Amino acid sequence: MKKNCSLNREHYREILEEALKVFDFRLFRERENKQATSPVIYLRHDLDHSLSLAYEMALLEKELNVRSTYFVQSHADFYNPFTDSGTKLLREIKNMGHEIGFHYDLNYYKKNGIDFNKGFLMEKNLIENLIGNEIRSAARHFPHKEIAGQESFSVSEFSLYDAYSPLFIKSLKYISDSGHSWREGCVCQHLHKKQDMQVLTHPVWWMGEGNSWQKKLKKEGEVQAKTLTRETQEIIDYYEVYLKKR
Ligand SMILES: [Zn+2]
Ligand SMILES: [Zn+2]
């Protein structure tokens, strides 16, 4: 496998092409499916920064016949699945055959005085209604952050698959590109071991523009600022015409 393990779309494609030779790609909701004859990859994406970059990743995967699970937030700081464009992107990701999971944030509930169970259910229902599907899996945002009261909360109470349960962490190899770096080396270095894996990648690191994580994040911020400026101008234009007619 190529040794230039930069996080970009070219290497992402190489990784998938290599993995496809050996692995069976499973959705989280397919955990109970009958025993696979090939090693299995649960390919997971946590959406923290951009729905449009997630959409681009989903397209690339679709082109290669790979299915993965996209964990989405309902109240992320950097995207909104409930805008016209957000809804469209999320539904298109689902319609490509990928699974939509729930990327929940206990810290948000805590900070805003929302009961964990009520908040979780509220947001899960919102996303389910948006995509027109039941949510079957969830992954926590900032899972290592200790939050008072979190011991009383469990995703399994909602009959969902928890991406952080021992099923997906301990009984197989778990690797993640968190913080734009693989703690145990790039996923491509693990493929030859042919062991079952959960692989977490964040679309902004692979589909984002720039050769450093800072540039990728800044670029994404610029794209969003431009969109907001354009939409603000559209509102101004609309009201100028409307007020002239009145
Ligand atoms: Zn690599
Ligand atoms: Zn996250």
Tell me the pLDDT tens digit for each residue of 179-216. Answer: 999 989 999 999 999 999 999 999 999 999 999 999 99
Please determine, for residue 3, whether its predicted confidence score (pLDDT) is greater than 70.
Answer: no
Q: What is the mean pLDDT of residues 33-50?
A: 89
Ligand closest to the CA atom of residue 144: 2
Give distance in angstroms: CA of 169 to centre of ligand 2. Answer: 17
The model's pTM: 0.94
Please determine, for residue 2, whether its predicted confidence score (pLDDT) is greater than 70.
Answer: no
Please determine, for residue 111, whether its predicted confidence score (pLDDT) is greater than 70.
Answer: yes
Closest to 56 (Cα-Cα) out of 217, 214, 203: 203
Q: Yes or no: say if 24 and 36 are a contact pair by the CB < 8 Å rule.
A: yes
Q: Yes or no: say if 202 and 228 are a contact pair by the CB < 8 Å rule.
A: no
Give distance in angstroms: CA of 109 to centre of ligand 2. Answer: 15
Q: What is the mean pLDDT of residues 166-177?
A: 93
Ligand closest to the CA atom of residue 49: 2
Give distance in angstroms: CA of 46 to centre of ligand 2. Answer: 5
Give distance in angstroms: CA of 233 to centre of ligand 2. Answer: 32
In this prediction, residue 172 has a pLDDT band, given cuts at 50, 70 and 90, of very high
